[in-house]
């Protein structure tokens, strides 16, 4: 996928930054950059939190070795009819490196959930959360309706726009903050920003990306998907998800 960024001096399009995507000639917020199997064997090294490793060893499902048991837990979790919600703010701690089997069905489910939830955690973090969720008995999180203040809504818009950019442009968080010329901790602290910091962040996003505009005057977001302009009020934008059919 190629996308254009604006020049810091003239604010006009001057270059294209290439990122890995499923369709390189497409510029769209309607297509996530998918994660695919990277090895012929189907095995992937995952670093499991020490606490999770201990729980796996102590669990009744433990079967001869940690790698085989972990693969079985992941398969069982993904086949659950309950909804798994990724915690985008959960940190990944160091732990044991385990070579687990992740088949094509796993990556399809991973991509579907990323498309639905627009999470920005790593595959490693995702697997740890998925295993923990399975070991906890697949608890379901109820969605609570909220009445947001303007400051809260604006912050949610900034967070959602960030997740959308990361998911569809194939950028790492470190890449994005570098483009925005902001501190490395910006993304992790974004949810705690007060109104002035949020406004500054939105201005940076608007400045860098020419296919995303957060209009603070009309309280709307303008996206350009494959050359076509789409306009969403803030409430509708917060529910915007890349299409499964894109």
Whether this model's pTM surpasses 0.95: no
Domain match, 172 and 99 both: no
- How many independent structural domains does the chain possess? 2
Asked whether 240 and 233 are in contact (CB, 8 A), the reply is: no
In a domain, 164, yes or no: yes
In a domain, 167, yes or no: yes
Burial state string for 23-56 with b = 16 or more CB within 10 A and e = fewer than 16: eeebbbbbbbbbbeeeeeeebbebbbbeebbebb
In a domain, 35, yes or no: no
Phi/psi at 126 (nearest 5 deg)?
A: -60, -45
244 pLDDT above the threshold of 70: no
Task: For residue range 8-60, list pLDDT tens digits in order.
Answer: 433 333 333 333 333 333 458 988 989 988 777 889 999 999 999 999 999 99
Asked whether 29 and 232 are in contact (CB, 8 A), the reply is: no
Strand partners, 208: none
Q: Which domain holds residue 91?
A: 43-135
In a domain, 11, yes or no: yes
Domain match, 63 and 97 both: yes
Domain match, 164 and 108 both: no
């Amino acid at each position: 996928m190629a996308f254009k960024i604006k020049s810091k001096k003239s604010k006009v399009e001057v270059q294209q930054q290439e990122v890995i995507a499923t369709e390189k000639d497409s510029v769209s917020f309607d297509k996530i950059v998918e994660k695919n199997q990277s090895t012929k064997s189907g095995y992937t090294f995952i670093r499991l939190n020490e606490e999770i490793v201990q729980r796996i060893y102590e669990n009744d499902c433990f079967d001869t070795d940690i790698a085989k048991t972990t693969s079985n837990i992941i398969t069982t979790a993904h086949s659950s009819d309950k909804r798994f919600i990724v915690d985008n703010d959960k940190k990944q701690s160091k732990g044991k490196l385990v070579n687990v089997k992740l088949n094509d069905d796993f990556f399809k489910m991973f991509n579907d959930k990323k498309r639905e939830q627009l999470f920005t955690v790593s595959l490693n973090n995702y697997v740890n959360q998925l295993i923990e969720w399975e070991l906890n008995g697949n608890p379901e999180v109820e969605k609570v309706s909220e009445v947001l203040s303007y400051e809260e809504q604006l912050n949610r818009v900034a967070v959602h726009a960030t997740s959308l950019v990361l998911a569809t442009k194939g950028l790492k968080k470190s890449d994005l903050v570098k483009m925005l010329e902001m501190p490395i901790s910006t993304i992790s602290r974004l949810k705690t920003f007060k109104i002035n910091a949020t406004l500054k962040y939105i201005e940076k996003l608007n400045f860098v990306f020419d296919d995303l505009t957060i209009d603070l005057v009309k309280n709307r977001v303008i996206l350009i998907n494959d050359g076509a302009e789409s306009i969403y009020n803030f409430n509708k934008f917060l529910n915007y998800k890349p299409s499964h059919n894109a």
